[in-house]
């Protein structure tokens, strides 16, 4: 390879962002970092900027901008703050591929701006497709942009589809670890604390997605994400609990054959695959040993105890702006749970109540999504006392 892939890392201080920088550090001949952007963790952003020498650094929290500028005075880097700056830097000529790894609805605007500028996207921010999957995939088609999945399940499906060209998919199975409360019943979950919910058995991730994994909303969001990435109907997407998290997902073709992608759980692999696609580049990630996993097991998800997954299928069937509302209500409910304002079991209730109230729009525009997000946040907030 003569030319490096020039990256913009949005959400560089998060779980995905820091692992993406590990991938870059291991392959300096393949990748360069042109843009680093983060929410408010200014100390880590400064360290990253000094180490990876990007052209642009953006911090969303403008109260930290002066500190960032002072710390990077000696560096050859342009430093900006705020939402608009984020939208501007992803369009820069020096960027080939944007890693969308901001958490939540906050990642939507910059991802859309990057697509409209013709940048390839490595998509970790699943909420982008949950909120506005139809719009975002249409834009990607129009601007000739590929959306490379970073979510491990979707990367697995994407890897299984390599070489299948026009062979139709009969069905996909998204695997779920089941989270920290697998096997529990509703009555067991009444008093669970955020510390318990934040202890994921197999993956170390940001707080929001870890709570989403505990409620199974993460899998619900992934069902919706899969629909848009792979053009599937809801009936073609199934979820199977696989507690060992070794099979990252499976595709079933029309001849009944199934392909699975396996490996030890490590997000650096899907990140690296999205960055280097279609090539596989070397890694020193720990390798799978069969003797450590004498049995891989599978279970049906418990939809009674974890109704969030059910809610996701409902909004998928409803279409329009329904999933946008579900996502907004979930973000409010998870944040309230993380601030000890509500109990764990209130999360699905708030989502169901807020989603039921929104003004339904069958074919939303970008502005409609923005309005729906705000409306659903208001309804969800009103449920929190």
Residue ranges in contact with Mg ion by CB under 5 A: 151-153
Q: How far is the CB of 12 from Mg ion (least distance, A)?
A: 20
Q: Please give the angle made by the CA atoms of 302, 381 and 211, to the nearest 5 degrees.
A: 35
How many positions of this chain bind ligand NAD (CB under 6 A)? Answer: 27
Report DSSP state, residue 299: B
Question: Interaction with ligand NAD in 82-141: which residues (CB under 6 A)?
Answer: 86, 101-103, 106, 124-127
Query: Which residue, 101 or 274, has its beta carbon nearer to ligand NAD?
Result: 101
Nearest alpha-carbon partner for 19 in 9, 31, 7: 9
39 binds, among Mg ion, ligand NAD, none (CB under 5 to 8 A by kind): ligand NAD
Token match 């409620």: residue? 215
Neighbour-count burial of 347, counting CB atoms closer than 10 A to its CB (0-12 exposed, 13-18 middle, 19+ buried): buried
13 binds, among Mg ion, ligand NAD, none (CB under 5 to 8 A by kind): ligand NAD
Is 79 one of the binding residues for ligand NAD (CB under 6 A)? no
Tokens of 97: 């591929």
Can you tell me which of 7, 21, 160, 205 binds ligand NAD, judged by CB under 6 A?
A: 205
Q: Which stretch binds ligand NAD (CB under 6 A): 11-19, 131-139, 174-182, 310-318?
A: 11-19
Shortest Cβ distance from residue 248 to Mg ion (Å)? 8
Q: What residues does 334 pair with on adjacent strands?
A: none
Nearer Cβ to ligand NAD (18/381): 18
8 Å CB contact between 213 and 203: yes
Query: What length is written for the chain?
Result: 385
In contact, 7 and 34? CB cutoff 8 Å? yes
- Shorter beta-carbon distance to ligand NAD: residue 98 or 101: 101
Kind of pairing, strands 169-176 and 247-253?
Answer: antiparallel
Residue 103 binding partner per list Mg ion, ligand NAD, none, with a CB distance cut-off of 5 to 8 Å that depends on partner kind: ligand NAD
Do 171 and 238 form a contact (C-beta atoms < 8 A)?
A: yes
Distance of alpha carbon 86 from alpha carbon 111, whole angstroms: 10
Binding status of residue 219 toward ligand NAD by CB under 6 A: no
What does the alpha-carbon distance between residue 109 and residue 128 come to, in Å, rounded to a whole number? Answer: 9
For residues 172 and 192, is the Cβ–Cβ distance under 8 A?
no
370 lies in the binding site for ligand NAD (CB under 6 A): no
Distance set, CA 211 to CA 207, 246, 281 (Å): 6, 21, 32
Binding mask 308-347 vs ligand NAD (x if CB under 6 A, - otherwise)?
----------------------------------------
User: Rule CB under 6 A: is residue 265 a binding residue for ligand NAD?
Assistant: no
Residue 267 Cβ vs Mg ion, minimum distance, rounded to whole Å: 9
Stretch touching ligand NAD by CB under 6 A, among 12-20, 67-75, 355-363, 370-378: 12-20
Smaller CB separation from ligand NAD, 82 or 319: 82
Q: State the Cα–Cα distance between residues 352 and 220, nearest whole angstrom.
A: 13
For residue 9, the tally of other CB atoms under 10 A from its CB is 29
How many other β-carbons are positioned within 10 Å of the β-carbon of residue 52?
21
Among 170, 203, 266, 314, interactor with ligand NAD by CB under 6 A: 203
37-66: which residues touch ligand NAD (CB under 6 A)?
37-39, 41, 60
Binder of residue 125, out of Mg ion, ligand NAD, none (CB less than 5 to 8 A by kind) = ligand NAD
CA angle 205, 220, 38 (to 5 degrees): 35
Residue 206 touches ligand NAD, criterion: CB under 6 A: yes
8 A C-beta contact, residue 154 and residue 223? no
For ligand NAD, the closer of residues 209 and 308 by Cβ is 209
Interface residue list for ligand NAD (CB under 6 A) = 11-17, 37-39, 41, 60, 86, 101-103, 106, 124-127, 151, 203, 205-206, 209, 267
């Amino acid at each position: 390879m003569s030319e490096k892939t020039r990256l913009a890392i949005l959400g560089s201080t998060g779980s995905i962002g820091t692992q993406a920088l590990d991938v870059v550090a291991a392959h300096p001949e393949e990748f360069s970092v042109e843009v680093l952007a983060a929410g408010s963790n200014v100390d880590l952003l400064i360290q990253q900027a000094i180490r990876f020498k990007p052209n642009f650094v953006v911090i969303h929290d403008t109260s930290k901008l002066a500190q960032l500028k002072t710390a990077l005075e000696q560096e050859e880097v342009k430093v900006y703050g705020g939402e608009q700056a984020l939208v501007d830097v992803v369009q820069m000529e020096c960027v080939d591929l944007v890693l969308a790894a901001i958490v939540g609805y906050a990642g939507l605007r910059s991802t859309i701006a990057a697509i409209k500028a013709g940048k390839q996207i490595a998509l970790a921010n699943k909420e982008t497709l949950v909120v506005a999957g139809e719009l975002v995939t249409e834009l990607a088609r129009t601007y000739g942009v590929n959306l490379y999945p970073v979510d491990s399940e979707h990367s697995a499906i994407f890897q299984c589809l390599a070489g299948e060209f026009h062979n139709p998919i009969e069905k996909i199975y998204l695997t779920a670890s089941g989270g920290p409360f697998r096997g529990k019943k509703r009555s067991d979950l009444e008093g669970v604390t955020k510390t318990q919910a934040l202890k994921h058995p197999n993956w170390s991730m940001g707080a929001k997605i870890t709570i989403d994994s505990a409620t199974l909303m993460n899998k619900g969001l992934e069902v919706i994400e899969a629909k848009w990435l792979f053009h599937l109907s809801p009936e073609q997407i199934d979820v199977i609990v696989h507690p060992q998290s070794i099979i990252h997902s499976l595709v079933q073709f029309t001849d009944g054959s199934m392909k699975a992608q396996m490996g030890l759980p490590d997000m650096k692999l899907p990140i690296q695959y999205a960055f280097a696609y279609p090539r596989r580049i070397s890694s020193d990630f720990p390798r799978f040993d069969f003797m450590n996993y004498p049995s891989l097991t599978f279970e049906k998800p418990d939809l009674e105890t974890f109704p969030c997954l059910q809610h996701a299928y409902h909004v998928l069937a409803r279409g329009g702006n329904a999933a946008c509302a579900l996502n907004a209500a979930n973000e409010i409910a998870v944040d309230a749970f993380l601030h000890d304002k509500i109990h764990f079991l209130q999360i699905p209730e708030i989502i169901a109540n807020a989603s039921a109230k929104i003004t339904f729009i069958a074919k939303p525009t970008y502005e409609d999504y923005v309005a729906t997000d705000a409306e659903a946040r208001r309804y969800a907030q009103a449920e929190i006392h």
